[in-house]
C-alpha cells in the first residue's frame, strides 16, 4: 500500500461544459494544481489528465486526475489510475458536485450512497467498493420544477460566480486537510455544529 493520494475531480470533457455546476470537481482540481505549481498532462494508461506532485511542501504525494470521459463513466479512469499507482480505495478522493447541500458549502464523507450521482455510482462499481472518500461541493437545488440534470449542466449564476473562487478554495483546503489530518478532523472543521 502506498501513501499516495488519488484525487479525482469529476466533470465532463470539453469547453462547453467547463463552467457547468457538474464540473465543479474539476474546478477544485485546477485550484489544487495552481497551489502545487503544476500542469495537467495526458496519462498514457488511463483516459485522464493527471498532475503528480505533493499537496503542499513536504506533504504527501498526490495524483490529481481529471477523467477525459463523460461524468457517467468516471469509474474506468479512476480504477485504472488507482491500479497503476497502487492506491487503495481509502486513499481515493472523489471531488464532485452535490445537489443535496446548499451552494457555497463543502462536506466530506467516506462511503455511503451515491445520491443519484451517476459519476459516483460508476466509480463505486469500477473500484468494487463504496468505501472511498468524497469531497462534496454544494451546488444547491434546481429552482422550481427544473430537472436536476438540466440544472447541473448549466453554468453558475452571476451571483454565484462572485462566490465561486472562495468555494473552490474551501474545497481545495478540505482535500488538503483530509490528507493531512484525516476525515474526522476535516469533518469537524467543514461541518458546522448543529444547534
pLDDT tens track for 114-171: 888 999 999 999 999 999 999 999 999 998 899 998 999 999 999 999 999 999 999 9
pLDDT of residue 114: 85
What is the rounded CA–CA span in Å between residue 54 and residue 7? 12
pLDDT of residue 194: 60
pLDDT greater than 60 at residue 1 = no
pLDDT of residue 58: 87
pLDDT of residue 26: 97
Q: What separation in angstroms does the CA of 186 have from each of 37, 50, 137? A: 24, 25, 14
What is the rounded CA–CA span in Å between residue 40 and residue 91? 20
What is the rounded CA–CA span in Å between residue 129 and residue 37? 32
pLDDT of residue 2: 64
- Compute the average pLDDT of residues 92-113: 95
Higher-confidence residue of 194 and 132: namely: 132
pLDDT of residue 115: 80
pLDDT of residue 116: 83
List of long-range contacts for 189-192, beta carbons under 8 Å, 24+ apart: 190/106, 190/107, 190/108, 191/107, 191/108
How many angstroms separate the most distant Cα atoms in the chain?
A: 50
The whole-angstrom distance between residue 154's C-alpha and the CA centroid of its chain comes to 18
Positive or negative torsion for Cα 92, 71, 139, 145: negative
Tens of pLDDT, residue by residue over 24-65, are: 999 999 999 999 999 999 998 899 999 999 998 888 999 999
- Compute the average pLDDT of residues 1-14: 90
What is the rounded CA–CA span in Å between residue 16 and residue 167? 21
pLDDT greater than 80 at residue 174 = yes
pLDDT of residue 31: 97
pLDDT of residue 192: 75
Residue-wise burial string across 167-186, b where 16 or more C-beta atoms lie within 10 A, e elsewhere? bbbbbbbbbbbbbeeeeeeb
Q: Which residue has the cell 461524468?
A: 71
Is 43 an active-site residue?
no
Q: Kindly report the pTM of this predicted structure.
A: 0.95
Question: Which among 28, 170, 191 has a CA at the least distance from the CA of 108?
Answer: 191
pLDDT of residue 3: 87
Instruction: Please list the residues that pair with 134 across neighbouring strands.
Output: 94, 109
What is the rounded CA–CA span in Å between residue 108 and residue 95? 9
Amino acid at each position: 500500500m502506498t501513501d499516495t493520494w488519488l484525487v479525482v475531480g469529476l466533470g465532463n470533457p470539453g469547453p462547453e461544459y467547463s463552467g457547468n455546476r457538474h464540473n465543479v470537481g474539476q474546478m477544485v482540481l485546477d485550484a489544487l494544481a495552481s497551489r502545487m505549481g503544476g500542469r495537467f498532462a495526458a496519462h498514457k494508461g488511463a483516459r485522464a489528465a493527471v498532475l503528480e506532485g505533493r499537496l503542499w511542501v513536504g506533504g504527501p504525494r498526490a495524483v490529481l486526475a481529471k477523467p477525459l470521459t463523460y461524468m457517467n463513466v468516471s469509474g474506468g479512469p479512476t480504477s485504472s489510475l488507482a491500479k497503476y499507482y497502487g492506491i487503495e480505495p481509502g486513499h481515493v478522493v472523489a471531488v464532485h458536485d452535490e445537489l443535496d447541500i446548499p451552494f457555497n458549502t463543502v462536506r466530506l464523507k467516506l462511503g455511503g450512497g451515491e445520491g443519484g450521482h451517476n459519476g459516483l455510482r460508476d466509480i463505486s462499481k469500477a473500484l468494487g467498493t463504496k468505501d472511498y472518500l468524497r469531497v462534496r461541493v454544494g451546488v444547491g437545488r434546481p429552482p422550481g420544477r427544473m430537472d436536476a440534470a438540466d440544472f447541473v449542466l448549466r453554468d453558475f449564476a452571476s451571483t454565484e460566480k462572485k462566490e465561486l473562487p472562495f468555494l473552490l478554495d474551501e474545497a481545495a483546503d478540505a482535500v488538503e486537510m483530509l490528507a493531512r489530518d484525516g476525515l474526522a478532523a476535516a469533518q469537524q472543521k467543514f461541518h458546522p455544529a448543529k444547534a
